[in-house]
Amino acid sequence: MLNLTPMRLVGTGMHSARASSKAKNSARFSPILKAHWDLVVRSAAKHYDFVGMIKALLLIFEPVSAWNRIALARRSIFFMVVFYLLPMMLIVGVAEGFGLVEWGREQHLIGGIHLFPVREAVALECTEMALMGLAIIICAYLIKSFGETFHLRNTYQQAFTVVIYGLSPLFLCRLLDVSPALNPWIVWAIGILLSVKVLYLGVPRVMEPDPPHALGLFFMSTLVMTMATAAERLISTGYLSGRFRPVSDVVYQMLMKFHLLK
């Protein structure tokens, strides 16, 4: 009779060796796969290659897979701000600022087109970025508070993730503000509707509420974000049209303080 015990041990050892080798290879290539699928930041850190805009498109057209990757990545607030929010804001600001300098905006007080100087356009875009940043911080805090009313133990990082990525379509649509021919409120309406569509899947995936509470949390989150972005749009359009004197005075004071106005 043949004794097959050693052969089994050898086979088991070979199987373990293969499994160990496969695990090492998987561990070796997992960062590459993760970087391939997670389009939040490129491996080349020298330039921002419109990854934020790609992520916004993925959230619109492939929301399920995009939100799954976002939820599993669990990015820190610092990472989301530095590598996603700020670059996207800069791209939108540069595009809109270029439109202000090149084509200007119609202002009823002067009865024609007002071409903005470069310094004024820069100050205006910085003000808009600050207002949008403030709106994002407030929305994240309120969404976290809403989650607590539904007896959820969510973190501020989760609420911040919902707001940052949920507003991606709105930032994408704001690239249309470069053209003075488009009504800014129409651009905002298209962007916020796409954001609501994205948030419908994003809120329950990231915040993970109980099914009976998911719809209520989604409704309150979209309501707050709609109101906050509408307020920011009201202030910015009021200044561009020359009708909102308080904003004009703030921008003027900024230009004077930093010696940007001759």
Higher pLDDT, 166 or 148: 166
Angle, helices 118-149 vs 211-240, to 10°: value is 160
More confident residue, 191 or 248: 191
Range 211-246 burial, b when 16+ CB lie within 10 A, else e = eebbeebbebbbebbbebbeebbebbbebbeeebee
**pLDDT score of 110 more than 90:** no
Q: What is the mean pLDDT of residues 188-195?
A: 96
In the prediction, which pLDDT does 2 show? Answer: 40
Of 233, 220, 219, whose CA–CA distance to 173 is shortest?
233
DSSP H helices in 62-112: 63-73, 77-80, 86-102
Q: What is the pTM of this model?
A: 0.74
pLDDT given at position 149: 84
Amino acid making up residue 139:
C
pLDDT at res. 260: 56
Higher pLDDT, 3 or 195: 195
The arithmetic mean of pLDDT across residues 199-219, rounded, is 93
Lowest-pLDDT range of 46-60, 62-76, 81-95: 46-60
* CA angle at 45 for the pair 202 and 84, rounded to the nearest 5°: 25
Q: What is the pLDDT of residue 258?
A: 62
Report, as an integer, the average pLDDT of 215-238: 94
* Of 244, 204, 254, the residue nearest 108 (C-alpha): 244
- pLDDT of 249 reads 62
Mean residue pLDDT of the chain comes to 79
pLDDT in tens, 228-261: 999 999 988 888 877 766 555 666 666 666 655 5
Band (pLDDT 50/70/90 cuts) for residue 33 is very low
Mean pLDDT of the region 68-80: 93
pLDDT of residue 160: 97
pLDDT of residue 105: 87
